[in-house]
Structure 1
Amino acid sequence: MNRIDEVHVNAPSWGSGWTAAVQRPSEGFHKNWAREGFADQTVRQVVRVTGTGTSARIKLSHRYGSSPLEVAGATIARTDRGAAEQTGTVRRLTFGGADEVRIPAGGEVYSDAAEVSVAPFESLTVSLYFARPTGPASFHAQAYSTAYRAAGDQLAAADPAVFGETTVSWYYLAAVELADGGPAREDTVVVFGDSLTDGFASAIDGNHRYSDALAERLAARGTPRPVLNQGIGGNLLLSDSAWFGDRAGDRFRRDVLDQPGVRSVVVLVGLNDIGFSEIELPTYRPNPDRSVGELIVGYRRLIGMARAAGVRVTGGTIMPFKGSEYHTPAAEAKRRDVNDWMRTSGEFDAVADFAAALADPADPDALAPAHDSGDHKHPNDEGYRVMADAVDVDAL
């Protein structure tokens, strides 16, 4: 066996652990550091994985950068609590054997493998040190997970108190992949869409998105599988947005089909295409008046891409939003027509009827009060669990 064969045989088979869809630097929702970026600062970020492994690597994305990004150092560790790491688990991450890495504008990079054992529903802490100014940062706005910042190189800091600044966004971190020495898993589920997938209004650091509940449900029935969340708050099926990410059809391949071991996807998008057209606010743009026919063409594009890749696709019906700023007779008519098409067309491999599961029995055009976060279009934590229960796991 020559050296090339040895490298190939010994290379880890990487599987899914955790992901976040990357967005352009922007303001909105909560305070964040994306526009200002970082300079001589360390950022510590916590993610909960749904896969398992004895080694890990991270993926850093500089997709929306305009100049090269220098990462002066990085570590990964098992999470203790908050910004604290479990003693003895901190591992220095390298990139092609080097402690530092330079990522070109628009580029992405994987770290080398690091020995760290993790089981489903355990958390890992990734710390990144930026010695030089980064410029605006590619990020994920609505993490609902606390990120911590400290001045200087604090990669080795054992005292979490040095991380005195926080936001609830993720920066540059796009994925954590896991390996355990065996063959890569081929059963990953991706949930894809807008804020209803992203987990808007779920408890900070609670891991109560519907993707979390779905992964927990699969594990409880004895069929654990990685579940990746690729939602972006405000995302649109048919339009790009500087605030809310690339349109679903354009990001579907990289955010869903390119994930390791992906077997199925649950698509829940279209609410904002309908709702934005009813509102004249700068943040809710572009806001063209989309027809039901246009939306169906958009769904068919996603279905076709998934089928061509051998990935099963479940369509999620659009949930009620009566009482929200989106709701008008025209918007309600579109929601009903889109949902009727999803339920009756047979074009998806399966349908998750989120609308029926969360509707108020006394007024099906509205969310049930017990499941409403208060804005009349996003669920609360219990509502997200009901969403997970509405997915036909056998169809995955």
Structure 2
Amino acid sequence: MIHSTPAVLVLEDGSRFEGHAYGAHGTTVGEVVFATGMSGYQETLTDPSYAGQIVLQTAPHIGVTGVNDEDNESSRIWVAGYIVRDPSRRVSNWRATGSLDDALEAHGIIGISGIDTRAVTRRIRDAGALRGGIFSGDDAARSHDEQLQTVIESPRMAGQNLSARVSIPSASLIPTTQRKLGNLAVIDLGIKQSTIDNLTARGFDVHLLPETVTIDDVLAIQPIAVFYSNGPGDPAASDRHVELLRAVLDLGLPFFGVCFGNQLFARALGLETYKLPFGHRGINQPVLDKQSDRVEITAHNHGFAVSAPLDGPFDSPHGYGRVEVSHIGLNDQVVEGLRALDRPAFSVQFHPEAASGPHDANTLFDRFRDLVVATLRQAQEQSQNGAF
């Protein structure tokens, strides 16, 4: 059902866009971001990395395939709000179990439709990240000054630690679907289901751990490696997770980090992170893999990035040996991956599970498995040599 109920989007610079309610009615605030994917809106909505953000879809027509019970990346919709230009008036897909509008309403997600999404996108690209608010139903009739004040009083994304909002409350085990390689400690900072599926398909028994874990909790499962997931928030506000990762690196355990995990890996190495003007979000971002010399089209969802030299190895400021930038974003030369040369550890800024999106970079999960196998073999050889 497409509402005729009035709604308005107000940005913190005073910009105002009038449209119609889409989903639940009321008021919501958050950082307004745009996602450039032409498909995969269900995966976007259920990605915990979007917590605290109002997502604008740049594709003009949204909702035609409805929603289903198979494509969710988590147990709920996480976006703070939703902006589309033209919602589909009917659902047309054999897998659909409901409409997108009904799903938004059921999850209490306040949205707006019928506005010029190109104009909003250009405003964000020109001004940088902006907080915004969607006001629908009775709240749409509030004065502009009152609506703008609500937006201005909302928290900025910089400085927020949101992992506690999206992480699981207690540990759980997801067994491998293949021959078991060993236990993998996965720190849930906002993980997607497709990531878990890719890890269990590589022989790992995935021990999904809440973001509150300590190094003792990690070691209690006797892991052969550690994985940091994607997630929302500012990496500079997650010092506890950085210290945990430094303990992992000190022990020499193999490590793989994705998205937020990449930023935390950088900070553990002693590098700085910074907020991008408007971030990378979508499933069409070109990235150069320097190790294979391949250009891969990748899925992104990040508003922060790593500051590091792009050419050649450099020394880790925190004493973890040599490090190099392994991947570079070709749109703006942003660091998209890091590789430790003297430790069994690497990370990427994008989402190699690509749900939904291109699968060019899916082999990174194989690269991680190969790294773990090589580290285990090396440890076994050293143990055998030490026995004589």
Please report the TM-score for the alignment, with normalisation by the length of structure 1: 0.28
Name which structure has the greater RCO, CA cutoff 8 Å, separation 6+.
1
More strand per residue? 2
